[in-house]
Structure 1
Amino acid sequence: MRLAIFTGIILAGSYTSLTPALAADPTGDWRVADGVANVRVAQCNGSMWGAVSWETQPGGRDENNPDVSKKNRPTLGMAILIDMKKKPGAEQWEGQVYNAKDGQMYSATITPVGTDQMEIKGCVMGFLCGGETWTRVGPPIPSSAANAMAKGAPKTTGVAPKAAPVAAAPAPTTGAQKSTAAAKPGQKGTADAVGDICLLPEIAGFAH
């Protein structure tokens, strides 16, 4: 159940909300609450998307997806946060989250908390909400080069700023599973098997 735990935020029981002290950019790489994976969040054609960019146990598969054709797809690079739009008047984005525990999509919100944490909250039919807090492990990233010319897409902001300090200890890494923080959008290196998530077929096909 490699990625089932961190996406099991939907029916997680009681959830204590944290009040954001400072508006922050939700893009970048985030360590999920139990440390089993990183999720890379980027703005793709005006919406926020998140995809698995690193796993503690490589080789995970979407085995709980009810669609038989998707049961063998890799969890690395799989979209978790889906087409999230900014909520007017708030530093919050609304869209859908994919729950690998049951292979279903649920309504969800992401809310930056300061510069190094982000709340992820998902709900079933508008109630039975649960959530968790993710910790930043990679700096905010510029808008995708693949979407720079897209209508309505924000312009690239330039070089990514320096990453904020991270309080939580990083999960163990080996070889190609090292942190993806140094990856440049649109590029893949020996330590980055995902690169610019806006170029992933699942996201590019939806956004364009």
Structure 2
Amino acid sequence: MLHCPRTIARTIAYSGLFLATGLGSALAADPTGDWKVADGVANIRVAQCNGSMWGAVAWEQTPGGKDIHNPDASRQTRPTLGMPILIDMKKKAGVDAWEGQVYNAKDGQFYSSTIRPIGTDQLEIQGCVLGFLCGGETWTRVAPPIPSSPANSMAKGAVKGTTPAQAKAGAPVSPKTTGSVNPAPKPAGQKQAAAPSGDVVGDICLLPDIARFAH
């Protein structure tokens, strides 16, 4: 049996604790993956697309939902499945939080928003109107973090010529609006996150409403 001097053993113990704490922090700070919203009616898939966090509806309790509250009448028939919910969220310096906008399908409005992982299994969502009237909820993880991929970083197949502001305003896309797509092919040997059974959304970075300007 090996015997270490007490000071060396203490150093190893402290180092192990530091590494474990660092690993836990790294895992806790990852907002990617699938999250069930507070009322359980939908799962939101969060992925990093060209440096920003985006979230889209990946599953809905009642299939066939439409964006009926969108102020743009031409978009009130678009499917809620695959619809972007978290919009172009940027990492805040020095903290494990991302800022951008959230789309509330219940009233068809966009709100300034912050997402913040709580541990490894919860995601806190805070939204505000013009800096006040703030509210939020906590989502629960239902699928593991999503590894980075060429599609996530480059959003292949992006439709150029549409700005984030136009997307937020509900500008139509060509050739189609957001819906279900097949996952992008992955290079041989690359890991993929486990997808829920029957997943039809795939890589959200390839969804038209995201890919057209996350490139």
TM-score scaled to structure 1, two decimals? 0.71
Aligned partners of 1:59 and 1:75 also within 8 Å: yes
Q: Give the superposition deviation at 1:148.
A: 4.1
Percentage of pairs with the same residue: 75
Change (3 A) 1:149 1:104: closer
Structure 1 unaligned spans of 5+: 1-20, 151-155, 161-180, 184-188
Aligned partners of 1:112 and 1:119 also within 8 Å: yes
Q: Which has the higher helix share?
A: 2
Residue in 2 that maps onto 1:146: 151
Q: One-letter code of the match for 2:194?
A: A
Alpha-carbon RMSD across the aligned residues, in angstroms, is: 2.0
* Equivalent runs, 1:13-52 vs 2, <5 Å: 22=25, 23-52=28-57
Residue in 1 that maps onto 2:104: 99
Q: One-letter code of the match for 1:182?
A: A
Change (3 A) 1:58 1:93: same
Count of residues paired in the alignment: 157
C-alpha separation between the residues in 2 aligned to 1:69 and 1:149? Answer: 29
The structure with the larger Rg is: 2
* Equivalent runs, 1:60-139 vs 2, <5 Å: 60-139=65-144
Q: Deviations over 1:52-98 (max 9, x none)?
A: 00001000000000101100000000000000000000000000000
Equivalent of 1:192 in 176, 181, 199: 199
Runs of 4+ in 1 over 2 A off after TM superposition: 21-24, 147-150
Q: Give the superposition deviation at 1:205.
A: 0.4
TM-score scaled to structure 2, two decimals? 0.69
C-alpha separation between the residues in 1 aligned to 2:89 and 2:62? Answer: 27
Aligned partners of 2:49 and 2:154 also within 8 Å: no
Q: Deviations over 1:142-168 (max 9, x none)?
A: 124224458xxxxx9x536xxxxxxxx
* Greater relative contact order, per chain length (Cα 8 Å cut-off, separation 6+): 1
Aligned partners of 1:92 and 1:110 also within 8 Å: yes
Residue in 1 that maps onto 2:194: 182
